[in-house]
Structure 1
Amino acid sequence: MRGTGSYLPERCVPSTEVARSLGLADGWVRERTGIRTRHLAAPGQAASDLAAAAARDALDAAGLRPADLGLIVLGTSTPDELGPSTACRVQALLGARGAAAFDVAAACAGFVFGLQAALGWLAAQRGAAPYALVIGVEVYSRFLDPADRGTAALFGDGAAAAVVGPVPAPYGIGPVTLGSDGTRAGDVLIPAGGSRLPASPRTLADLGHTIRMDGRAVRGFIAETLPRLVAEACADAGIKPADLALVVPHQPNPRLVASLAGRAGLDPAQLVIAGEDVGNIGAASLPYALDRAVRDGRIAGGDLVLLAGFGAGLTWGRTLITWPAA
C-alpha cells in the first residue's frame, strides 16, 4: 500500500442522543457496543462525495495525483444510485480520466474484495503499472429505521481508501482469501428497492428500504469468523498469532470485536479498534481503522498486518500485508 486516507461527515452524533431517541438510558448504547459517537452525512451529501474526499486524502498520503490512477474499485452497500456504479461518480469527481471504475457489492467485506480485484488488475498490466485506488464507503443513515434499536444504535456514515501499487520484495499484499455463504443472505439486508421488491407505496410504508438485521445470528457469525480468519491466515503463512504486528478487523460492534482477542490467540493490543468514534461504517470500517493505525504510527516497515473483513451476504475475506518501508 502506498497511502491511506479517510473522511467523516461533519455532523457528529453522540450515543447519548441516539439512546434518548430510542427511549433508552443514556449509557445503553455505549455499554453494549462501545460506540461513543457516529457521523452522519449532510443533506445532499452522497456516498460518492464521501468517497472522493477519502480518495483525495489517500492520494495526498501517497504523493500521487488522480492522473496516476489506472483503476478505482469501490465497495459499498449504499450507492448513489442503483446504476451507474458509484465508482464512476468518484472518477468524475477526482478527474481521474485514465482510470477504469467499478463497484463491488460485498457489504462490510467490500474493501477486502476490492483489494483482490485491484491486485488481479495490477498483476495483468504490462510495463510500468499505474496505481489502483480501493475505497470503502457507506451512507447508512439514509437506510435506518430510527425506531429499531438493533440498527440505529450501531451504524454511521464514512469513507476510507487506500492506494495500491507495486512495491519491492519482500513487501506486498496477499494472497487474498475470500468466502461467501449465500444461504444466510437474509441475516442482514435491505429487502426492498431491487428487482425482487421494487419501490412501491407498500415497501415504503413497510420500511422495506431500511436495514433489517438478525442481531443474534450476526453476533454468532462475528464470534466464529474473526478467530477463524486469524487462525487460517497464520496457518497459511506458517506463523503464530503473536507474530502479527496488528490485526485490522471490520468492527460492527467494537466491544464485541475487542472481546474476541483472546479467542483468536491475540493480545488485545494487536487489534486495531477504531469503531468507538464512528460506529459501524460498513465497507469503510476496516480501511478507516487501517488509516487510523497508519496515522497513529502503529505500523512500521516490515510489519505483518492482517486485514480481516466480514459482512452481509454472508461474506468474509482476509489478507496478510508485509508493510512496505517508508
Structure 2
Amino acid sequence: MNAAITGWGRYAPDRVLTNQELEQIVDTNDEWIQSRTGIQRRHIVAEGQATSDMSARAARIALDKAGVKPEELDLIVVATTSPDLLLPSTAALVQTKLGAINAGVMDMNAACCGFLYALSAVTAMIRGGGVGKVLLCGAETISPFLNWQDRNTCVIFGDAAGAVILEATEQERGLQSYKLGAIPDTAELLWIKAGATLYPATHERLDQSEQYIQMNGSEVFKHAVRSMVDSSLHVLNQVGKTPADVQLVVPHQANLRIIEAVAKRLNVSMDQVFVNIQEYGNTSAATLPVAIAEAADAGRMQPGDTILLTAFGGGLTWASGVLVWGGK
C-alpha cells in the first residue's frame, strides 16, 4: 500500500511586500537582499487573517483537484510553527472551516521540515490501513513574529499555505523513502525565544524583542547544506537511485544560495531544481507544499517521475524524501 498525492493547492495573501518597500522600513536595499537570498518579494497576511484561513483556502483547491469531499477525509494534519492558537490545534479550526465532520485533527511542528515530517507520518498511517484519505497542509503566518528592524530576518520570511490530498493506492506512488533528523544543542541558532513555557513573555523579554525570530544565518547555512545533501543521498540510495535519476528536486525555499550549494554538491543542474523563493521568500513549513503545487500546475512533474524533497529548519531539523509523482 502506498499514499499517492491526488490533489494539491496553494494560497498566498494578496498583500505583496517588495524589496523596494522594505528599503523604506529597514536598513537594506534590493541588491543586498537579492544577492544574499534570491528573494524579490513576499506575501503578508491581511489583518485578521490567520494560518487556518490560508490552510482552508489551499485545502479547498486540493480537495477539488482530487475530487474528494470534506466529509470523506479521515484525517487533517497541519504542519506549522505559527498556529492560530496554542489550544486547540490549527487542524481543528481547518476542520470546522471545511466541514470535514469525520476527520481526526492534529498539528505537526518541525519548523521548516514540518511538511516532510508530516508527510512521512501520514504515509505510514495510510500504509497501516488506519486512514485512507488525508488532507495535509503546510502553512505559516510568520510576519507577526518578525522584528521589522532586523534586516537579517525580516527580509527573508513570508506568509503562505500549501495543501495536498493523500489517498491509499496499490500503485508505486507517493513517498518511497525518507530520512528525518535533528542536530542537538542548536536550538538557539534559529528560534523564537519568548512566549511559551520556558521563557514566558515578560515585559523584560518583550523589551529585548525576544518574541521575534532570531537567527544565526552563517551557522544555519553551513548546517543546512551539509544535512540536506547527506540526507538526500541517503534516501536516494534507499531506493537504488542517484541524483541523475531524479526528474525534479524540490528543496525547502530558505535561501537561493543554499539551494544552489545543495544542487552543486548533488551534481544536478539548476534546471532540475524547482525555485520560487523569489516570489514568496521563506514560508517555513509552507515552502514544500507551495512548491509542489506550483510545480504540478506548471507541468514540471509527470506521473511516474522521481521527485527529491529536502528541507532544513529550526531545531535544528532536517529531512529528505523520495517521492514518485502521480495519483492513484
TM range (shorter): over 0.9
Instruction: Report what 1:25 is aligned to.
Output: 29
Q: Distance in 2 between matches of 1:19 and 1:255?
A: 22
Q: Among residues 124, 127, 134, which one is paired with 2:128 in the alignment?
A: 124
Gaps spanning 5+ residues in structure 2: where?
Answer: none
Q: Distance in 2 between matches of 1:231 and 1:85?
A: 34
Instruction: Report what 1:224 is aligned to.
Output: 226
Structure 1 position 56 matched with structure 2 position 69: no
Q: Distance in 2 between matches of 1:214 and 1:158?
A: 23
For 1:39-118, what aligned pairs fall within 5 Å after superposition?
Answer: 39-118=43-122
Instruction: Report what 2:161 is aligned to.
Output: 159
Measure how far apart 1:26 and its partner are.
Answer: 3.5
Q: Among residues 106, 111, 135, which one is paired with 1:133 in the alignment?
A: 135
Measure how far apart 1:192 and its partner are.
Answer: 0.6
Q: Distance in 2 between matches of 1:118 and 1:236?
A: 19
Q: Among residues 16, 23, 35, which one is paired with 2:20 in the alignment?
A: 16
Tell me the secondary structure at the aligned position of residue 209 of structure 2: coil
Q: Distance in 1 between matches of 2:187 and 2:30?
A: 33
Measure how far apart 1:325 and its partner are.
Answer: 5.6
Structure 1 position 304 matched with structure 2 position 306: yes
- 8 Å CA contact 2:22–2:29 kept in 1: the answer is no
Instruction: Report what 1:270 is aligned to.
Output: 272
Q: Give the TM-score normalised by the residue count of structure 1.
A: 0.95
Matched residue type, 1:282: S
Measure how far apart 1:24 and its partner are.
Answer: 2.4
- 8 Å CA contact 1:143–1:211 kept in 2: the answer is yes
Tell me the secondary structure at the aligned position of residue 102 of structure 1: strand
Gaps spanning 5+ residues in structure 1: where?
Answer: none
Measure how far apart 1:25 and its partner are.
Answer: 3.1
Instruction: Report what 2:324 is aligned to.
Output: 322
Return 255-264 or 293-302, whichever deviates more: 255-264
Measure how far apart 1:124 and its partner are.
Answer: 2.7
Q: Distance in 2 between matches of 1:160 and 1:83?
A: 22
**Deviations 1:50-99 (CA, angstroms, capped at 9, x unpaired):** 11111111111111111111011111111111111111111111111101
Q: Distance in 2 between matches of 1:104 and 1:197?
A: 21
Percent identical pairs in the alignment equals 37
- 8 Å CA contact 1:187–1:213 kept in 2: the answer is yes
- 8 Å CA contact 2:228–2:320 kept in 1: the answer is no
Structure 1 position 5 matched with structure 2 position 29: no
Measure how far apart 1:111 and its partner are.
Answer: 0.2
Measure how far apart 1:170 and its partner are.
Answer: 2.4
- Indicate the RMSD between aligned Cα atoms, in angstroms: 1.4
Q: Give the TM-score normalised by the residue count of structure 2.
A: 0.95
Return 53-62 or 12-21, whichever deviates more: 12-21
